[in-house]
Amino acid sequence: MRVVRFITAILVVATALPAFAESDRDMLLEIKFGPYHPNIDSEFANATPYADMMGGGSVLMSQLEYEYEVFNGLGVLSIGASIGYSQDSGHQKLKSTMQDSKDSTTFHIVPLKFDLVYRFDYLAYRYNVPLVPFVKTGFDYYIWWITNGVGDVPKSADGSTGRGGTFGGHLSLGLAFLMDFFSPSTAQNFDVDVGVNNTYLFAEYVMSWVNDFGSSNSFDLSSKTFMAGIAFEF
Amino acid sequence: MTVESGKTMLVGAVAVVTAATVFLPVCAEAEISGFEFNGIAPVGDFELDDRIGPHSVDTEHVINVEDCKKYSGSIEITWSVDWTPADGTKWGVKMSEPGGTCSTSDLSDLGTSCYQEMIQHETDMVSSTNNKFTIPMDPLMGGDCSAGTEKSTVIYIIINEAGVYSDQQIIFDVDLAGPTAPVLSEPSEGDSNVTVKWTDDANSNETDIRYRVYWSDSKFDDSNKDQDSVSRSDLITASSYKVPDLTNEQEYWFGVTAVDNADNESPLSAVSSAMPIEAYDFFEYYKDGGAGGRESGGFCFIATAAWGSPMAGDVMALRAFRDRFLLTWWPGRLFVKAYYLSSPPLAWVISKSEALRALVRTALWPLVQVSRFLNAAPAWLGAGLLFSIWLIWGLGVSMLAVTVRRRRRGA
């Protein structure tokens, strides 16, 4: 009951917010962070080389996304691209005993994503409801490389090199909170001064399938994870 | 006291204060205007290190223990001013004792902590340029290279122009206090490398302290660490260093020294040994450590998709061709860049269809054969043939364009 009252109060306050003339908006920049754990060990039935060396936990993934809004009507349709970085480190294994070496080895990943994005901000603009659900889908290309204890990219016994790229795709579902709701005057000044129309805090659930579209000869860098961050629409 | 006499005293006091204000800067020893330091040259059979600041642009002059042992005889300093000296202008040079000072208000008084001989006795200043004087190194450096002190010796160039003295100081930082040896921790063995760590509380008051790591496959100490058989790192500021490119299963010895901002090097720390051990990095462990991972790395998209593996012989031939002939000149690099940008989606489509893969393999067959031939040919022949192919291709395209244009005009 309290929740309903709270939401009602927000809607009442929100719908009473004064409107002002905004500058044109056609781009959006997102900075977001979240946990990441590649699914490399799924390639094996009875081995877990990634977990053995890097551990079973997640590491921080940081991403920067740029979107260009191509349609602005009942919501916003955008095309976007993002770049990120994450790395996971662990101890090397002694060849003689398979015990942990004092040397470290690191797996570096630079995910490149190309998105089609839809943001349903009609309610935010029409009724000042500060919540904007969105969905993203697109292609991924993850560039990765591995470094050994002295920072070199290693080669395996068959001569293959520890760096490459893996294709995939993704689907994200998210919800953004329009920060302008808290202080419309500040938001207006932000627009007038630097041209930022809206500022969002957002969270998204990202499902990535990155394994060269099911190739059995590729790393499986897929993951299902949450990311959260801040977005500026300008 | 009458009002009149009071006014007279007030006026007098004002006059005294005014005179003091006006004349004080003149009486005080100012820096020599337009002074230019022109450099230091050795006098004697030794060379000067850059540390002493021998060039005209140098502003710092440092002498360390090694220099102290090497420098003998004297140095000659040349200076000039950017104005023409008037008749009767005199100049002279004094030198302080290390850590001492000299008076700059005359050209004869040496005081108590000034070197007890004039470096340059009072002499007429006849030229604005090429003024020189010679300094004996021994008193400049204090006479004892093992003194373990850090003091400044100041050279005072003093000019007397119509009773007005001005001076310029050149300061030599004589640092004969080397740092203390760091304390080496137990080295940490890696695969073909060993990480050496140390602590250095004893030198915590030093600024800009740096370190040098020494290593060898035989035991060494401070007396023989400069032998060719002992390797050394560059100077580093961190408190650890990973020694690369070592042979696994072989014992190595390690030591470290501290180096201060005057490049004085401490004695060698205690040496300690370690043996690098062969280990799997993640890629080796994934591929060769028993798991048998199939990822082979690489970015050669279309050919990899067509042949199914980046390690296929034909793919490797194309890759070698890329590295040898395409990446070595800018049109080739441009082509490779464009290929990398455009080919991934195509590669994906190809990889999904066995018929497409066979078709692409057939289409690429001539290119593979040409690549194999050019890869095996001498570089000049390969480059020449490649240039000829580009030339023929370019001429063909140009002729085709001209033909099409003529036909259109004709139509």
Helix (H) or strand (E) holding A21: none
Helices and strands of chain A, counted as H and E runs: 4, 8
Q: Each residue of B238-265: pLDDT tens digit? A: 999 999 999 999 999 999 999 999 999 9
B5 vs B83, residue with greater confidence: B83
- Residues B246/B193, Cβ–Cβ less than 8 Å: yes
pLDDT at position B309 is 63
Evaluate if residue B197 carries a pLDDT over 90.
Answer: yes
Helix (H) or strand (E) holding A8: helix A2-15
pLDDT at position A2 is 58
- Token output for B68: 């102290």
User: Which of B286, B294, B319 to mutate to probe the A interface, most A CBs <10 Å?
Assistant: B286
The residues that bridge with A119 in the sheet, in sequence order, are A76, A134
- Token output for B358: 């066979």
Cβ pair A167:B348 closer than 8 A: yes
- Token output for B236: 């580093």
Candidates A234, A226, A181, A192; CA nearest to A24 is A234
What is the arrangement of strands in the sheet containing B231-232, beginning at the earlier edge strand?
B231-232, B210-216, B252-259, B272-274
Q: Each residue of B133-191: pLDDT tens digit? A: 999 999 999 989 999 999 999 999 999 999 899 999 999 999 999 999 999 999 999 99
Q: Each residue of B85-144: pLDDT tens digit? A: 999 999 999 999 999 999 998 888 888 899 999 999 999 999 999 999 999 999 999 989
Backbone φ and ψ of B371, nearest 5°: -60, -45
Topology classification of domain A26-233 = Porin (2.40.160)
- Confidence band for B408, pLDDT divided at 50, 70 and 90: low
Chain A residues within 8 A of B293 when measuring between CB atoms: 40, 43-44, 49
What are the angstrom distances between the C-alpha of B162 and each of B32, B91, B109, B128, B224? Answer: 14, 11, 18, 16, 60
pLDDT at position B22 is 41
Q: Which of A 53-82 lie inside 8 A of B, CB atoms?
A: 53-54
pLDDT at position B270 is 96
The residue whose two tokens read 């140009």 is B398
DSSP A69: E
For B273, residues 6+ apart whose C-beta sits below 8 A from its C-beta are: B187, B219, B251, B252, B253, B254
Chain A residues within 8 A of B354 when measuring between CB atoms: none
Residue in A closest to B294 by C-alpha: A217
B271 vs B106, residue with greater confidence: B271
pLDDT at position B27 is 41
Q: What crossing angle do the helices spanning B379-410 and B354-376 adopt, rounded to 10°?
A: 120
Cα(B83)–Cα(B166) distance, rounded to whole angstroms? 14
Evaluate if residue B10 carries a pLDDT over 50.
Answer: no
What are the angstrom distances between the C-alpha of A204 and each of A172, A174, A207, A229, A230? Answer: 6, 4, 10, 9, 11
Helix (H/G/I), strand (E/B), else coil: A139? strand
Helix (H) or strand (E) holding A185: helix A184-194
CATH numbers and ranges of domains, chain B: 28-175 (2.60.40), 183-274 (2.60.40.10), 285-403 (no CATH)
- Confidence band for B64, pLDDT divided at 50, 70 and 90: very high
Average pLDDT over residues B67-92: 93
- Residues A112/A141, Cβ–Cβ less than 8 Å: yes
- Residues A208/A140, Cβ–Cβ less than 8 Å: yes
Amino acid code (one letter) for B236: I
pLDDT at position B305 is 67
- Token output for B314: 């034909």
Cα(B343)–Cα(B365) distance, rounded to whole angstroms? 18
Q: Which of A 146-205 lie inside 8 A of B, CB atoms?
A: 146-150, 154-165, 167
- Weakest-pLDDT range from A182-196, B47-61, B62-76, B237-251: A182-196
pLDDT at position A186 is 81
Given the DSSP bridges, would you call strands B164-175 and B61-63 parallel, antiparallel or unpaired?
parallel
Cβ pair A43:B308 closer than 8 A: no
pLDDT at position A17 is 46
The distance of A224 to chain B (nearest Cα, Å) reads 21
- Residues B96/B113, Cβ–Cβ less than 8 Å: yes
- Residues A107/A53, Cβ–Cβ less than 8 Å: no
Chain A residues within 8 A of B290 when measuring between CB atoms: 47
pLDDT at position B275 is 94
For B393, residues 6+ apart whose C-beta sits below 8 A from its C-beta are: none
Candidates A179, A178, A169, A182; CA nearest to A208 is A169
| Facing residue for A44 by CB, picked from B291, B308, B348 | B291
Cα(B175)–Cα(B145) distance, rounded to whole angstroms? 9
Cβ pair B285:A164 closer than 8 A: no
Chain B residues within 8 A of A107 when measuring between CB atoms: 282
- Confidence band for B25, pLDDT divided at 50, 70 and 90: very low
User: Which of A39, A43, A95, A147 to mutate to probe the B interface, most B CBs <10 Å?
Assistant: A95
Residue in A closest to B349 by C-alpha: A213
Candidates B55, B49, B50, B95; CA nearest to B70 is B49
DSSP A5: H
- Token output for A162: 């520890």
Evaluate if residue B394 carries a pLDDT over 80.
Answer: no
For chain B, give the mean pLDDT: 84
Backbone φ and ψ of A151, nearest 5°: 85, 5
Amino acid code (one letter) for A234: F
Cβ pair A164:B297 closer than 8 A: yes
Evaluate if residue B356 carries a pLDDT over 90.
Answer: no
Chain B residues within 8 A of A213 when measuring between CB atoms: 348, 351-352
Average pLDDT over residues B78-86: 94
| Facing residue for B290 by CB, picked from A40, A47, A147 | A47
Tell me the pLDDT of chain A (234 aa) as tens digits: 555 565 555 444 444 444 456 778 889 999 999 999 999 999 998 899 999 999 989 999 999 999 999 988 889 999 999 999 999 999 999 998 999 998 899 999 999 999 999 999 999 888 889 999 999 999 998 989 999 988 888 888 888 888 888 888 999 999 999 988 777 778 778 787 878 888 999 999 999 999 877 877 789 999 999 999 999 998
- Find the largest Cα–Cα distance for chain B: 126
Amino acid code (one letter) for B404: V
Alpha-carbon torsion B366, B367, B371, B374, what sign?
positive
Give yes or no for A42 touching B (CB within 8 A): no
Segments making up each domain of chain A, as ranges: 26-233
- Residues B280/A92, Cβ–Cβ less than 8 Å: yes
pLDDT at position A190 is 79
Cα(B323)–Cα(B335) distance, rounded to whole angstroms? 12
- For B87, other C-beta atoms within 10 Å of its C-beta total 8
pLDDT at position B396 is 77
B332 vs B281, residue with greater confidence: B281
Chain mean position to CA B146? 29
User: Which of B188, B295, B299, B348 to mutate to probe the A interface, most A CBs <10 Å?
Assistant: B295
The residues that bridge with A63 in the sheet, in sequence order, are A32, A84
* ipTM at complex level: 0.85
Chain B residues within 8 A of A99 when measuring between CB atoms: none
The residues that bridge with B150 in the sheet, in sequence order, are B175
- Confidence band for B269, pLDDT divided at 50, 70 and 90: very high
DSSP A24: P
Cβ pair B282:A216 closer than 8 A: no
Q: What is the 3-state secondary structure (H, E, C) of chain B?
A: CCHHHHHHHHHHHHHHHHHHHHHHHHHCCEECCCEEEEEEEEECCCCCCHHHCCCCCCCCEEECHHHHHHCCCEEEEEEEECCCCCCCCEEEEEEECCCCCCCCCCCCCCCCCECCCCCEEEEECCCCCCEEEEEEHHHHHCCCCCCCCEEEEEEEEEEEECCEEEEEEEEEEEECCCCCCCEECCCEECCCCEEEEEECHHHCCCCCCEEEEEEECCCCCCCCCCCCCCEECCCECCCEEEECCCCCCCCEEEEEEEECCCCCECCCCCCEEECCCCEECHHHHHHHCCCCCCCCCECCHHHHHHHCCCCCHHHHHHHHHHHHHHCCCHHHHHHHHHHHHHHHHHHHHHHCCHHHHHHHHHHHHHHHHHHHHHHHCCHHHHHHHHHHHHHHHHHHHHHHHHHHHHHHHHC
User: Which of A113, A156, A161, A210 to mutate to probe the B interface, most B CBs <10 Å?
Assistant: A156
Residue in B closest to A48 by C-alpha: B291
